Amino acid sequence: MEYQARLFYPGIKVPLTTYPYRDPESVAKAYTPDCIWRNRGVFITGHDQIVAFLTAKWEREQNYRLRKELFCFHDKKIAVQFWYEYQDAQDGMKWKRCYGLEDWTFGEDGRMIKRMMSGNDIVLTAEERWFKEGVDEDRVKIGDAHW
């Protein structure tokens, strides 16, 4: 069977159910032991660094709400567009939204071998938030200016 990244399309939504639990050890299992990450300007390799990175990220990013959508795929690669909102524990609990793109490369066993993320944060007022309590992130209409 020809390998296609589209076989892993359901994995795009996995973080939506995994990340809220904030269990870096569980999340790291989706990646190969020598997985390479770039998250903005941070470069890390392997499970130990992934766990340390996610632990620090989730200490800072409180009340985290995420949406990811398929951008494109080819062979063993998928690109996703994402938006997430959080309160920044290191910045007076201000609400922020991150806009970005990730590209993922998968190994033959289905685990991710490379994750590259580019994102930009903006500060929000409470009224500007999309992903409020009780709202399904996948049902929020995101206009053309934000796609």
Q: What is the CATH number of the domain that holds 36?
A: 3.10.450.50
- 145 found inside a domain: no
18 has pLDDT over 90: no
| Percent of the chain with pLDDT strictly greater than 70 | 86
Range of the domain at 128: 5-139
Q: Which of 9-18, 59-68, 88-97, 110-119 has the lowest mean pLDDT?
A: 9-18
| Arithmetic mean of pLDDT, 82-91 | 97
Question: What pTM was estimated for this model as a whole?
Answer: 0.83
- Indicate the burial class of 88 (C-beta count within 10 angstroms; 0-12, 13-18, 19 or more): middle
Instruction: With respect to residue 113, please indicate whether it lies within any of the assigned structural domains.
Output: yes
* 82 inside domain: yes
Per-range mean pLDDT, top range of 13-17, 44-48, 143-147:
44-48
Contact 12, 69 (CB under 8 A): yes
- Residue 144: inside a domain: no
Band (96; pLDDT cuts 50, 70, 90): very high
Tell me the C-alpha distance between 82 and 58, whole Å: 17
Radius of gyration (Cα) for the chain, nearest Å? Answer: 15
Cβ proximity of 27 and 17 under 8 Å: no
CB contact at 8 A, 63 and 94:
no
Report the distance separating Cα 26 and Cα 120, nearest Å: 26
Q: Is the predicted pLDDT of residue 19 greater than 80, yes or no?
A: no
- Do the domain assignments include residue 146? no
- pLDDT attached to residue 43: 98
Into how many domains does the chain fold?
Answer: 1
Cα separations in angstroms, 131 against 29, 87, 94, 109, 134: 27, 12, 15, 34, 8
Please report, rounded to a whole number, the percentage of residues in the chain having pLDDT higher than 90. Answer: 69
> Which one is predicted more confidently, 113 or 142?
113
Does any domain span residue 147?
no
d(CA 64, CA 15): 11
